[in-house]
Structure 1
Amino acid sequence: MRAQNRLEPFAHRCRVYYEDTDAGGVVYYVNYLKFMERARTERLRELGFAQSALAGENLLFVVHSSEARYHAPARLDDELLISAQVTELNRASLRFKQQVWRAADTTLLCEGQFLVACVRADSFKPRAIPEALRTAFADVSGAGKHLEQEIKRGS
C-alpha cells in the first residue's frame, strides 16, 4: 500500500549534546540513526501506541535494514528536527523515510530509509501488524511529505 494523506507533517525536536559529538566537535555519524529511532518511537507515541505497551502485547518493531546519506554536519547545541514518514505499509513491515534538519537554518543534514519489521516479542518471528496500528499508520502514512517546504517556510 503506497502512503498518501493530507495531515500535518510530523517532526521530532531534539538538541545535540556533547555526548553526541566526536573529537572534531560534530555529531558522530551513527548518532543520526539514534535520532531517527527516537523520532519513529515518538511517532508511535503520538499515534497512541507506546513501545512498552506493545511489548506487553507480544509485539516489537525491529529494524530489518537501513540506509543513510549524510549531507552536512550537526554541531553541539544545534536544535534538530527529525521527520518520520511512513512511505510503505505492508502486512508485517513498514518503510520509513526520515530526514534530519538543523532548525536554525533549515539545512538538511541527513536522510535515510528504514525497513521496520513487526515481530513477536517471544520468538522474533514475523507477525501481522495489528489492525489498530495499520489503521493509524495508514491515516498518517503521507504525513511529513511536505516537511521540507514547511521547514523552509519557517513553520
Structure 2
Amino acid sequence: MAAEEFSLPLRVYIEDTDAGGIVYYVNYLKFMERARTEYMRNLGYGKDYIFNHDLMFVVRDAAIRYLAPAYLDDQLQATARILALGGASIRFAQTVRRAGQDLAAGELTIACVDRSGVKPRRIPRDMRDRLLPAQ
C-alpha cells in the first residue's frame, strides 16, 4: 500500500542558494521533483520500470506558494502526497519544510506520456492499482 505522505530529507548546499545564502526560488521545484521521484522509486517505479514500459512523466501544471525562505545548510523535508489519480495524470500536494514549518507548498500535476512520441498515455494498470490507495 502506498504511503499517505512521502518525505525526503534534504540539505541546502551552496549551489542551491543565491548570493545572499537564501535558496533560489526555482530550487524548491527541484526539491519537489526529487520527492516525487523517490516516492515513485519507493513504490517500485524507478527508472528501470519507467524505461521498460516506454513511458515517462512530465509536469503539466505547477502552482507554488513561497511562504518563508530556506538558507544555506538548512536541513529540509520535501514531501509528496497524491491528491488525485486520473487515467493519464497524477496530481500531487507537495511541500518543502524546515523543522515542521512550511517554506513552500504547491500542487503539481504530472502527465504520463510514451517516451517514443511524447504523447499522452494511460498509466499502467499495476501502477494505478498501487497508487489508488494513496488517494
- Report the TM-score when normalising by structure 2: 0.94
RMSD of aligned residue pairs (Cα, Å) = 1.6
- 1:130 & 1:44 partners in 2: Cα distance? 13
User: Does structure 2 retain, via aligned residues, the 8 Å contact 1:83–1:99?
Assistant: yes
Matches within 5 A, 1:46-125: 46-103=42-99, 106-125=100-119
- 1:118 & 1:6 partners in 2: Cα distance? 19
- 2:106 & 2:28 partners in 1: Cα distance? 9
- 1:135 & 1:69 partners in 2: Cα distance? 31
SS at match of 1:84: strand
In structure 2, the partner of 1:24 is 20
SS at match of 1:62: strand
Stretches of structure 1 that go unaligned for 5 or more consecutive residues are 142-155
In structure 2, the partner of 1:140 is 134
Length, aligned pairs only: 135
What are the superposed Cα offsets for residues 78-101 of structure 1, whole Å, 9 maximum, x if unpaired? 111111011010000010110110
- Report the TM-score when normalising by structure 1: 0.82
Kindly, what percent of the aligned residue pairs are identical?
48
User: Does structure 1 retain, via aligned residues, the 8 Å contact 2:9–2:77?
Assistant: yes
Which consecutive segments of 4 or more residues in structure 1 shift more than 2 A? 5-9
Report the AA paired with residue 140 of structure 1: A
Report the CA distance shift for 1:19/1:7 in structure 2 as closer, same or farther (over 3 A): closer
User: Does structure 2 retain, via aligned residues, the 8 Å contact 1:41–1:51?
Assistant: no
